[in-house]
Structure formats: structure tokens, C-alpha cells
Amino acid sequence: MSCDTPLPTVESTLHESILVLTLDNPPVNALGVEVRRGLLAALDSAADNPAVEGILILGAGRHFCGGADIREFGKPPQPPALPELVKRIEACAKPVVAAIHGVALGGGLEVALAAHYRLAVRGARLGLPEVQLGLLPGAGGTQRLPRLIGAKAALELMLSGRHLSAEQALELGLVDRLGDSDDAQAEGLAYLGQLLASQAGARRTRDALALSDLAPQRAAIAAAREQAGKKSRGLLSPHHIIQAVEATLDRPFEDGLKEERRLFLECLDSPQRAGLVHAFFAEREVLKAPETRAAAPRALEQIGVVGGGTMGAGIAVAALDAGLQVTMIERDQAALARGRGNVEKVYDGLIDKGRLSAADKAATLARFSASIDYRALAQADLVIEAVFEDMAAKQAVFKELDRVCKAGAVLASNTSYLDINVIAQSISRPADVIGLHFFSPANIMKLLEIVVPAKVAAQVVATAFELAKKLHKVPVRAGVCDGFIGNRILAVYRQAVDAMLEDGASPYQIDQALRDFGFPMGPFQVADLAGGDIGWATRKRKAATRDPKARYVQVADRLCERGWFGQKTGRGYYLYPQGPRSASEDPEVLAIIDAERQRAGITPRTFSDAQIIRRYMAAMINEAANVVHEGIALRPLDLDIALIHGYGFPRYRGGPLKYADQYGLPQVLADIREFAEDDPQFWKPSPLLVALVEREANFDSLNHAH
Ligand code: 3HC
Ligand code: NAI
């Protein structure tokens, strides 16, 4: 029998004496205001209805509940607040069961924690991922979960944000029962029926006893604090999570909830939360390129890779790890053997670390073949070229691909800088040609720039996005230009860094300032890791066409002339006496920089760390604005995601253009104009930045314009 549904987002149905409340707010049953109101009203009517003996909470569709409605953060709160609703569930006099399928995350798991009994069907995933959004569980999770499973396990879940399987949740005592079928409603009805039959009453998590032995809890908190001090530098919410959990030990439950609320609101108001939520939505928005809406992808089973060097081998591993068939082509048998070796090395490394068995390696490599004969690519659905960065070499490869590949095969280049339009136009099927710009190491780095040349078919672009999905990459659509999105911006902020170096900052101060800002490595560490030789070759190639009026800092050339290419040669900007981990500062490098200053007639000055960040970010933002202005990036958010996933930009700052909005665009423009007094050639305000400042608008307004 169907009762009156209080609101369309919570369906309420009576099954004999059990009231089934189904959250129905597609796609993930987020706990938006309508759902909260609906659930509260349903609980009220259940309390008053003598026909109801127990309550079962479920989710409609694929999931139990994905948590609070993230879109409401930063907007005026609307009652009932989630913590109030959750309290209300726990306070119910009649037994409440949560039956979980799909995911129960964040506020969704907190609803389940407030229920008196929990059941999860196989395949369900449970977690408190708030930390990934710069938050802490704010609906009682920090107070209830430790009482249920102890501080150690609770902290581990909340600080990692990871998802537990139903089986793991059972083992931890987070759920009481596993459902055998995947029908959460049937399983939940059966479970609650048994509870009612055995007269099990309401059982409240707030009264659970996992914290009764205090010593191990305090030890867990101390350990978490030490760990967070090292690993979560600069982040607010991990520290607040630990503080909230500490309150479970020395405060009564209600006081602990108040402390949780206070800490939650601090996180909610922080720019870190805004940056992380921006990144969350932007990662989903980048998938919605115009071509993915317009066309369906082609079939993708067999992948070809031409070139088995750093990138070709990494791409092959990424495709093998995704379960695809991979054929590698090299120019001769010796190079082919090296290419195969490069692939095997990755798996051997995992075996050495105990993360892979020899049998798994063999099973994976059974999907791998290698040849020097292009005809081995005849059945490939998609081929990625990763040979030397040389137009003639690439065109020769594409000519072969044009000759041997089946009709409809997608032909991709992993070029870093070259014009893909030129490559496309050199063969008979330009509509099948696209750029797939992977980042090194290609089996690890998440970013995949999908570079869209003029004549490419929408289906081919859609297939590239499908490939990214299969490889678990983050795809960002980019237009054709020198360096596409990321490398083009990198080239510009590198120039700003080099100018500061020559003007008086040391490479070590610059690196430290940028690490403190949140980058995992500073730009000189990155240069040493990537190897100075590649950039040196490019600079020499472009020397003839370089604008003679542009400032050219020669420090990097001086290092390369000495053969100091970075980690692989044991020295670059840093010394590496015992490999990459042994980096130390090099007085000889400082002397070379000094000599360069003298040669250029520069009197060195000091830079504060804040001044370094101002210049670095102004250069990055300005070029980023040009990239958006020219349509190379579809929206500011695409660019933000590219810099986060390909260049180590701190996620909690949301990307360079989210950071620019927070910093204030008038201030960015004022900084650029100030720096232009020294070097007007380099510091030219982007027309888009100027226009936005004039309109009193921000970059985010452009994210919603499409
Ligand atoms: N609120 C609002 N929208 C959400 C949402 C949420 N909690 N979770 C997902 N969505 C949206 C996504 O933005 C996406 O929208 P779109 O279709 O317009 O792009 C849509 O739902 C589908 O999401 P996915 O593409 O990610 O779908 P999947 O099926 O791949 O994954 C999921 C589903 C595992 C639930 C994943 O979306 C996810 O991890 N969501 C975030 C979960 C989370 O962080 N919850 C905690 C929220 S904070 C909280 O609860 C605070 C509380 O403690 C007070
Ligand atoms: P690499 O020098 O490590 O490997 C190139 C491989 O291509 C060599 O194994 C070589 O034998 C092979 N090769 C050359 N000509 C060939 C031909 N005609 N047929 C078959 N194989 C041939 O170079 P790397 O670093 O892997 O770069 C490859 C491409 O990827 C370049 O276009 C580069 O710009 C791009 N790229 C490089 C990145 C990096 O960090 N190394 C990052 C992103 C893109």
C-alpha cells in the first residue's frame, strides 16, 4: 500500500508493518534540501503512525546515497540541516535499518550510521570522502564512526577518503550484515522483519562502545597527527578531522557534535574547499566536449603504438593495464627489443615491490605483441605514434599508417609541440587524425590532452575520450598551437622563473617557495627530472626565429654545455651524488648564475617568497587567459584540470584560473602592469584578462557560458 509521498524526492511505502523510505534524487540521491525535507516529514509521519513498527531506508536507482548535495556548498543554508536530520533518524523510537547498494558516501554514510542497523549488498561501497573536498564529515560522522569501529580505523577512512567494499565494512563492524542478493529492498525487508520478530529495538551508534579502551585511541590520534603533519602540509581539513575525532575521547557526544560543526563550518568557508569542489565538478565537465555530445565513439579493442621509447612504452603499459590488446612497432630489431624491455621493466618493478605476480605479468603480456612490420597494425582500432619529435619522421610514420591501417582506424600523434594539422593534411584521411598528448610516465600521469585538428571527425574525438575513460585518464580537449594547453603555459612561466633567477633569486629559494605554495616539486627540480637536453635541443632549433628583443636567460644553456642534464647525469641545478633522492644544492651552479648576471649587467636583488609566487602566478594566469581567449582551451575549467593533472598544480587551489578568481582579477592585472615596468616585452596583459576586469567578471563566469 502506498502512503502519501511527502515530497517527490522521498518515496514512502508501507510493506506490512515496515515503512520503506526511498531516497529518489537522480543520479546519486544527493541529500539536497528537498530530500532532507522529504525524509524529515516521512520520519514524523512514521512516528505518529501506529501501523508502522520499523523503518527501512533505501536509495532508488544505482546508489544508496552519494552524500550531501555538493552544489549547495557556499550557498545560504536551508533547513533542515543534515546534522539535525541525522539526529532525528537516530532518535527514532522504532528500529531503523539502512540497506545499502551502490555507494553510501559522506552524508549518505552518515545517514546509515544514524540508522540503528546497517545492511550492505555485495558490490556496495562505503566511505567518508569529505577530505577530498576540503571538508570533514559534518553530519555526526566524526563522532559516530569512531564509537562504532574505533579511532584508528575511523581516522584511516576519513583521512584517506577511500571506499570500503561491503565485505570490508562487515569485517570492521561498520555494517551488521551482508545481503546475498543485490536487491537491497528485499534484503532490507527480510533483515528488519527478523529484527522485529526478535523484538530488537532501536540501537543507537552514539552509545556504541568501540572507544571504551582509551589508550589505543589516543595512540591512533597521535600517529594520525604525526602522519598528517608530514603528508598533509598546507591542508586544513585533515587536521580538523583529527581534532574532531579527538573530541570523541574527552567530550560528551553532544559537545563533540558541536565541535564537529564548528570545525566543519571552518572548512566549508575555506578557499581550499572552494578549490577542491571546483576541481570535482571540473573533472566531470571536461568530459562534456561538444564532440562527445555529437557523436558516438568507434570500437576500441586493439591499440597500436609506434615507437617504444619513454612515451611509447608508457602508453603501451597504460593500454595493457586497461585490458586492451597492444601491438608495438619499432624501426629495427634492436630498438624493438629495447621497446619490449621498456614495457617489461614496468611490470618487473611491480614484481620487485611485491605488487604483481609473475603469472599476472605473463597474463598481461599475452596481450602484447611487437613487430618491425607495419602490417601488424592492419586490424588496430587506434594507433598512437610516439617516435622522435621531428615532423619528417612523424609524417613518414603516418604515411605508413595510411597505407596499412583499416578504414576507420583512429590515427593519433603524441607530439608535444608539432602542428597536427600539418601531419593530418599529409595523408589521405585527415578526418581520422588526432593528437593524444600523454604525459611522462604515461602509465601513471593522469592528464591526456586530446588535441583536435581542423579536419578531424567528431567520432574520432569521441573515440579519444572513450580511450581516456578506458585508460582511467583525465581528458582535456585542446586546440592546435605550439605546446597546446599545458606546455604552452609552461614555456611562459618558465621564462618568468628564469628572469627571477637572473635578477637575484636562487633556484633553491624558488623551488622551496613553490613547494610551500603546494606544488610537489619546484620548476628546477622538474627540469632536472625531465632532463635539460630536450629543452636545450628545442632552444637551439628555435634560436634563429627567436625575437631578438625578448629577454633570453642563458643559465640553462651554461649547464647543458657542461653536460649537466639533471638527474640522469648526476647533476643539473642540483647535485645527485647518490641518485635522485640525494639532491643537494650546488655552489658551482650558484657561481654560474652569478657569472651570467655579471655578463648581462644585472645587479642582483632579493625576492621574498611572496614576490616569487606573485610573478610565477601572474605569468601562468596571463598565458592561461590567452589560451582560453584563443579557444585553445574550451573553458577556464579545462585549463585548470590540465594544470592540476599534468603539471602538479595544487588541487586544493582549484587550478590557476580558479586561483586567479580567488586572488582577484584586478590585482592580477595590476601585478602584470607593475612587472611590465621592468620588461614590457614579456608582461603584456592578456586581452581576456583586461576585458574581464573591465566587466567586473571572473573566469568562472566563462565556465557557465557554454
Ligand atoms: N552532490 C551533487 N552532485 C553530485 C554528487 C553530490 N554529492 N555526487 C555526484 N554528483 C553529480 C556529479 O557532479 C555528476 O553530475 P553531472 O552528471 O551533471 O556531471 C553526477 O552526479 C554523476 O556523478 P559521477 O559522474 O561521478 O557518477 P559515478 O557513478 O561515476 O560516481 C559517485 C558516483 C561515486 C557518487 C561520485 O559521483 C562521487 O564520488 N561523488 C561525490 C561523493 C562525495 O564526495 N560525497 C561527500 C559529499 S560531502 C558531504 O556529504 C558532507 C557531509 O559530511 C555533511
Ligand atoms: P624516445 O626517444 O624515448 O623514443 C622514441 C622512440 O621512437 C625510439 O625508441 C625510436 O627507436 C623510435 N622511433 C624513431 N623513429 C621511428 C620510426 N620511424 N618507426 C618506429 N619507431 C621509431 O622519445 P620519447 O620521449 O618517448 O618521445 C616520443 C614522442 O613523445 C615525441 O614526439 C615527444 O615530443 C613526445 N612526448 C614526450 C614526452 C616526454 O616527457 N618524454 C611527453 C609527452 C610527449
> Are residue 475 and residue 547 in the same domain, yes or no?
no
Which residue carries 546497517 as its cell?
Answer: 118
Among the listed residues 450, 391, 448, 458, the one whose alpha carbon sits nearest the alpha carbon of residue 424:
391
Residue 653 makes CB contacts below 8 A (sequence gap 6+) with 271, 272, 275, 518, 659, 662
C-alpha grid cell, residue 140: 555526526
Angle at 666 between CA 502 and CA 684, to 5 degrees: 45
Among the listed residues 339, 335, 334, the one whose alpha carbon sits nearest the alpha carbon of residue 326:
339
Instruction: Give pLDDT tens digits for 599-655.
Output: 999 999 999 999 999 999 999 999 999 999 999 999 999 999 999 999 999 999 999
Cβ 376 under 6 angstroms from ligand 2: no
What is the model's pLDDT at position 703? 97
Q: Is residue 610 part of a domain?
A: yes
Cβ 419 under 6 angstroms from ligand 2: no
What is the model's pLDDT at position 352? 97
Mutate to test the pocket of ligand 1, among 35, 63, 70 (most ligand atoms within 8 A of CB): 70
Cβ 393 under 6 angstroms from ligand 2: yes
Contact 550, 682 (CB under 8 A): yes
C-alpha grid cell, residue 650: 595544487
What is the model's pLDDT at position 220? 97
Say if residue 17's pLDDT is above 70: yes
The residue whose CA has the least distance to atom 15 of ligand 2 is 387
Report which ligand 1 atom has the smallest distance to the Cα of 285: 19
The residue whose CA has the least distance to atom 19 of ligand 1 is 284
Ligand nearest to the CA of 282: 1
The better pLDDT of the pair 533, 116 is held by 116
Which domain CATH number covers 27? 3.90.226.10
Say if residue 542's pLDDT is above 90: no
Instruction: Give pLDDT tens digits for 582-606.
Output: 999 999 999 999 999 999 999 999 9
What is the model's pLDDT at position 174? 98
Ligand 2 centre from 171 Cα, in Å? Answer: 48
The better pLDDT of the pair 272, 212 is held by 272
> Are residue 686 and residue 579 in the same domain, yes or no?
no
CA distances from 242 to 208, 212, 228, 236 (A): 20, 18, 9, 11
Residue 552 makes CB contacts below 8 A (sequence gap 6+) with 546
Task: Give residue 176's identity as a one-letter amino acid code.
Answer: D
> Are residue 582 and residue 652 in the same domain, yes or no?
no
Among the listed residues 416, 159, 470, the one whose alpha carbon sits nearest the alpha carbon of residue 302:
470
Cβ 316 under 6 angstroms from ligand 2: no
C-alpha grid cell, residue 203: 540501537
Which domain CATH number covers 683? 1.10.1040.50
Ligand 1 centre from 695 Cα, in Å? Answer: 33
Report which ligand 1 atom has the smallest distance to the Cα of 110: 53
* Per-residue confidence band for 534, with pLDDT thresholds at 50, 70 and 90: confident
Counting runs of H as helices and runs of E as strands, what totals does the chain give?
30, 19
- The string of DSSP letters for 250-314 reads HS-HHHHHHHHHHHHHHHHTSHHHHHHHHHHHHHHHTT--HHHHH-PPPP--EEEEE--SHHHHH
The residue whose CA has the least distance to atom 14 of ligand 2 is 387
- State how far the Cα of 93 lies from the Cα of 201, in Å rounded to an integer: 8
Q: What is the mean pLDDT of residues 260-288?
A: 97
Ligand 1 centre from 261 Cα, in Å? Answer: 22
Bridge partners, residue 403, by sequence: none
Q: Give the domain-ending residue among 228, 246, 268.
A: 268
Q: Is residue 513 part of a domain?
A: no
Mutate to test the pocket of ligand 2, among 416, 417, 423 (most ligand atoms within 8 A of CB): 416
> Are residue 318 and residue 415 in the same domain, yes or no?
yes
Q: Give the domain-ending residue among 581, 605, 629.
A: 605
Instruction: Give pLDDT tens digits for 359-413.
Output: 999 999 999 999 999 999 999 999 999 999 999 999 999 999 999 999 999 999 9
Say if residue 3's pLDDT is above 90: no
Q: Is residue 285 part of a domain?
A: no
- State how far the Cα of 392 lies from the Cα of 348, in Å rounded to an integer: 35
CA distances from 387 to 305, 321, 416 (A): 9, 22, 11
Tell me if residue 99 falls in helix, strand or coil.
Answer: strand
- State how far the Cα of 405 lies from the Cα of 171, in Å rounded to an integer: 52
> Are residue 305 and residue 258 in the same domain, yes or no?
no
CA distances from 112 to 23, 118, 128 (A): 12, 7, 12
Say if residue 502's pLDDT is above 60: yes
The residue whose CA has the least distance to atom 32 of ligand 1 is 66
C-alpha grid cell, residue 21: 523510505
Beta-sheet strand order (sheet of 433-438): 368-371, 325-329, 302-306, 382-385, 410-413, 433-438, 447-451, 474-478
Ligand nearest to the CA of 372: 2
Instruction: Give pLDDT tens digits for 652-682.
Output: 999 999 999 999 999 999 999 999 999 999 9
- State how far the Cα of 508 lies from the Cα of 647, in Å rounded to an integer: 19
Which domain CATH number covers 424? 3.40.50.720
- State how far the Cα of 356 lies from the Cα of 348, in Å rounded to an integer: 8
Range of the domain at 684: 485-505+606-706
Q: Is residue 325 part of a domain?
A: yes
Contact 539, 557 (CB under 8 A): yes
* Per-residue confidence band for 706, with pLDDT thresholds at 50, 70 and 90: low
CA distances from 605 to 327, 499, 510, 682 (A): 55, 12, 14, 19
* Per-residue confidence band for 537, with pLDDT thresholds at 50, 70 and 90: confident
* Per-residue confidence band for 6, with pLDDT thresholds at 50, 70 and 90: very low
Ligand nearest to the CA of 67: 1
Instruction: Give pLDDT tens digits for 52-96.
Output: 999 999 999 999 999 999 999 989 999 999 999 999 999 999 999
Ligand nearest to the CA of 162: 1
**What is the number of domains present in the chain?**
4
Stated pTM of the model: 0.95
Q: Is residue 282 part of a domain?
A: no
Report which ligand 2 atom has the smallest distance to the Cα of 415: 32
What is the model's pLDDT at position 8? 53
Question: Cis (ω within 30 of 0) for the bond into 441?
Answer: yes
Q: What is the mean pLDDT of residues 197-205?
A: 96
Mutate to test the pocket of ligand 1, among 25, 28, 145, 163 (most ligand atoms within 8 A of CB): 28
Q: Is residue 154 part of a domain?
A: yes
- State how far the Cα of 418 lies from the Cα of 390, in Å rounded to an integer: 8
Contact 374, 328 (CB under 8 A): no
If one counts every other C-beta atom within 10 angstroms of the C-beta of residue 622, the result is 28
Q: What is the mean pLDDT of residues 513-519?
A: 97
Q: Is residue 287 part of a domain?
A: no
> Are residue 305 and residue 382 in the same domain, yes or no?
yes
Say if residue 486's pLDDT is above 90: yes
Residue 548 makes CB contacts below 8 A (sequence gap 6+) with none
Q: Give the domain-ending residue among 245, 268, 291.
A: 268
Cβ 385 under 6 angstroms from ligand 2: no
What is the model's pLDDT at position 372? 98
* Per-residue confidence band for 1, with pLDDT thresholds at 50, 70 and 90: very low
The residue whose CA has the least distance to atom 39 of ligand 2 is 440
Angle at 459 between CA 456 and CA 463, to 5 degrees: 105
- State how far the Cα of 643 lies from the Cα of 654, in Å rounded to an integer: 10
Among the listed residues 50, 240, 24, the one whose alpha carbon sits nearest the alpha carbon of residue 136:
240
Cβ 309 under 6 angstroms from ligand 2: yes
Which residue carries 611572496 as its cell?
Answer: 610
Cβ 397 under 6 angstroms from ligand 2: yes
Report which ligand 1 atom has the smallest distance to the Cα of 71: 2
DSSP state of 651: G
Ligand 2 centre from 385 Cα, in Å? Answer: 8
Within 6 Å (CB) of ligand 1, which residues are found?
27-28, 30, 66-71, 82, 103, 105-107, 110, 129-130, 133, 135, 137-139, 141, 281, 284
The residue whose CA has the least distance to atom 31 of ligand 2 is 389
Q: What is the mean pLDDT of residues 196-218?
A: 94
Q: Is residue 253 part of a domain?
A: yes
Which residue carries 511527502 as its cell?
Answer: 6
What is the model's pLDDT at position 284? 97
Contact 415, 394 (CB under 8 A): yes
Strands 177-179 and 96-100: unpaired
Cβ 306 under 6 angstroms from ligand 2: yes
Contact 79, 160 (CB under 8 A): no
Ligand 1 centre from 615 Cα, in Å? Answer: 36
C-alpha grid cell, residue 276: 577542491
Among the listed residues 59, 22, 27, the one whose alpha carbon sits nearest the alpha carbon of residue 42:
22
Q: What is the mean pLDDT of residues 550-579?
A: 96
Instruction: Give pLDDT tens digits for 685-700.
Output: 999 999 999 999 999 9
Ligand 1 centre from 224 Cα, in Å? Answer: 27
> Are residue 184 and residue 322 in the same domain, yes or no?
no
Q: What is the mean pLDDT of residues 28-42?
A: 96
> Are residue 529 and residue 640 in the same domain, yes or no?
no
Report which ligand 2 atom has the smallest distance to the Cα of 385: 29
CA gyration radius, the chain: 29
C-alpha grid cell, residue 233: 602540509
Report which ligand 1 atom has the smallest distance to the Cα of 133: 44
Kind and range of the H or E run holding 412:
strand 410-413
* Per-residue confidence band for 2, with pLDDT thresholds at 50, 70 and 90: very low
The residue whose CA has the least distance to atom 20 of ligand 1 is 27
> Are residue 660 and residue 675 in the same domain, yes or no?
yes
> Are residue 351 and residue 393 in the same domain, yes or no?
yes
Report which ligand 2 atom has the smallest distance to the Cα of 329: 20
Cβ 387 under 6 angstroms from ligand 2: yes
Arithmetic mean of pLDDT over the chain: 96
Q: Calculate what percentage of the chain has a pLDDT beyond 70.
A: 99
Tell me if residue 20 falls in helix, strand or coil.
Answer: strand
> Are residue 175 and residue 227 in the same domain, yes or no?
yes
Kind and range of the H or E run holding 160:
helix 151-160
> Are residue 388 and residue 500 in the same domain, yes or no?
no
Tell me if residue 86 falls in helix, strand or coil.
Answer: helix
Q: Give the active site residues.
A: 110, 130
The residue whose CA has the least distance to atom 38 of ligand 1 is 66
